[in-house]
Amino acid sequence: MADTNKGGGKMKSPLGGRKIKFNLYWIYALVLIVLMFVWFGGSGESTVSKDIKWDRLKKVLVNKDYSKINVVNKEFAEVYIKNESIANNDEYKDLRNKGGLFGSSGETNSGFYVYKFVNYDDFREQLQTVENQWIAKDTVGVESQVEKQKIISDLRINVESETRKSFFGENSMFLISMLLMIVVWVVFFRMMRSNSSGGGMGGGIFNVGKSKARLYDKEGAVNITFADVAGLEGAKVEVKEIVDFLKNPSKYTELGGKIPKGALLVGPPGTGKTLLAKAVAGEAKVPFFSLSGSDFVEMFVGVGASRVRDLFKTAKEKAPCIVFIDEIDAIGRARSKSLASGSNDERENTLNQLLTEMDGFGTNAGVIILAATNRADILDKALLRAGRFDRQIHVELPDVEERKAIFKVHTKNLKYDDKEVDLEFLAKQTPGFSGADIANLCNEAALIAARGDKKIIGKQDFLDAVDRIIGGLEKKNKIIKPQEKKTIAYHEAGHASVSWLLEHANPLVKVTIVPRGAALGAAWYLPEERQITTKAQMMDQMVSLLGGRAAEEVVFGEVSTGALNDLERVTKQAYAMVVYYGLDKEIGNLSFYDSSGQSEYGFQKPFSEKTAEKIDAQIHQMVEQAYEKAKSILIANREKLDKLAQILVEREVIFREDVENIYGPRPWDEKAETKASDNNSEAQTTSEEQ
């Protein structure tokens, strides 16, 4: 016999050499088929049932189209219709059906109606009434008793009774037990399969120590580039170097340079740190691992350290690559020097493992760590040293030109009036806004325009959005007593008057006594964007903040609780001037500010009790000086204050032009563009809480 397996190879299967691989889902399908078979009873016939009312059932009985009536458990009756009646009478076409799941193909005519009665005895009486009508009609003129009895016997409605038990009712415990066993078996095998598959990215109880980082590579690429990041020009210059190193490493290594281990993005919330990291990944075209600092934290001991090890192991396999850890302060907080650290042990173990992986004895060639935080002051010093995070990239709040670029990005998809809406104007009116704030402003403007059934977004919609974001939603239906309204009006007029008459106070934009949010009134100012602030400027700001309470005392002879927010801000500013900035002659050129953020672990003030008393005295003196200055300004301009407050009571809202009409133009205003024709603008608000 000839050898059919020449060459000594394996014989091919009928499927062309493909090996049939067992799949666990086959078991799931088999279990599902069995359950469906049990559910449908495995019957080969297809029977249709429809509910029926008594009026129609009576008609069926009168026409004698029924074959039998079966009462089940004395709860309902099954009225079976003759097959020929179903086939030939359109009255019963709702019982016609094609072959079912397990039934034969073609049309079937087997079906019955279900009549649900309330009481079995009443149902029998209804049937008896129908019988009596038939008998009375068909026995008219019949004299023979034998013949009459035969007619009565033929007209009887035969009713069968049945006690039916549900399969699932009888075997419920058995089915529940089998179902639980199947569920446990499926879950167990899925966990085992997930554990055996490895990869480090899966979940499950056996993968609790695996990294939760999301990988973006060629298949899941990040499509964000530096063109999508508006502003942040200084930060982009620094990160572009990292991108250039990943693209052209030889340019640096030939000179003996080494790849930076890591870069820390530091800045306030909403400035675009995460967006910048994504842009780095999109520009570099390398694998990008993204996760949050909280992803390392788990209730199990040792899980955080295990996830750090798995993360770096996977990253080294994908090198060159970028690992981005957002909100790294969740695990990078400075370690406690106290022995009673207790609950912080797990977090500190995670941090220790991170420090080891970033530096240690191993080499992570081609792995760059990017991290983002808005609390760089609380990070551990060992994490920030050179060799781990080689550089800190500060992502600051955008300036006016950067805000204009951000507005261009976020208004790209908005339908707004190009002629009316000036993006440069909006950028100038929003100092202190972050990129996230501007995005929210643009979205809020669109919502306001849609709420007014507008087809296009106008300038006023953007200005209203600014008011809505900063001041809160207007509460025009809030009931305020006339005397309270007058007090609020003088309070806000005091703010407006004092700020207008002081050189270094922020220019006024708008004042309202309409309640917004938790505030009963608000004043909008346009702060000057400056890098440093003098003592005179800070004092004028304090005087302006105290103008509201000073107006209450000058006019009414008493003060209210409406200045809570003002007093809080004044107190903090005075404390900062004395303790942090060294702007008080009595205390001298001293600063007790701790930029390292380690003071939270100390239990003593950095100054003596005698110095503390001096500080308290100087803060009190500084605040009182500002308050007396505000009072003197208002006393000297009492008539103008009354006029401004009266206008505010009548109109509830005043703008810069109203104040200018009463007090005249400010002699130190340098820019004509700050005039009040802009009606609404904002970046800082003083609010008075009830």
Residues recognised as catalytic: 492
CB contact at 8 A, 72 and 80: no
Helices marked H in 94-232 — which ranges? 120-138, 145-155, 167-170, 172-197
CB contact at 8 A, 634 and 490: no
For residue 379, the 8-state DSSP code is: B
β-bridge partners, 77: 71, 115
CB contact at 8 A, 420 and 458: yes
**What is the token pair recorded at 690?**
């009830």
Cα–Cα dist 279/232, whole Å: 12
Q: Give the neighbor-by-neighbor strand order of the sheet with 653-655.
A: 653-655, 508-512, 519-525, 684-689
AA identity, residue 9: G
Using DSSP, state whether 102 is helix, strand or coil.
Answer: coil
Residues 6 or more apart whose CB falls under 8 angstroms from that of 350 comprise 296, 297, 304, 305, 307, 308, 331
For residue 228, the 8-state DSSP code is: G
Helix, strand, coil fractions of the chain, as percent rounded to 5:
50, 15, 35
Size (the chain), residues? 690
- Residue 49: name the closest of 90, 78, 89, 86 by CA: 78
- Residue 400: name the closest of 439, 436, 437, 426 by CA: 426
AA identity, residue 591: S
Say how far residue 594 (Cα) sits from the centre of its chain: 34
Number of other CB atoms surrounding residue 310 within 10 Å: 19
For residue 507, the 8-state DSSP code is: P
What is the Rg, in whole angstroms, of the alpha carbon atoms belonging to the chain? 42
CB contact at 8 A, 497 and 631: no
Q: H helices then E strands: how many in the chain?
A: 25, 17
Q: Which helix (H) or strand (E) holds 140?
A: none
**What is the token pair recorded at 220?**
């899941």
User: Dmax over Cα atoms in the chain, in whole Å?
Assistant: 135
Residues 6 or more apart whose CB falls under 8 angstroms from that of 363 comprise none
For residue 389, the 8-state DSSP code is: S
Cα–Cα dist 290/322, whole Å: 9
Cα–Cα dist 370/322, whole Å: 7
**What is the token pair recorded at 460?**
């006023």
AA identity, residue 265: L
Integer angstrom CA distances of residue 453 from 395, 441, 444, 466, 472: 39, 19, 14, 19, 22
CA dihedral 164, 169, 174, 178 (to 10 degrees): 110
Strand locations in 295-395, DSSP E?
A: 321-326, 367-373, 391-394
Query: What is the crossing angle of helices 638-651 and 609-636, to 10°?
Result: 80
Residues 6 or more apart whose CB falls under 8 angstroms from that of 326 comprise 273, 274, 277, 290, 291, 292, 293, 371, 372
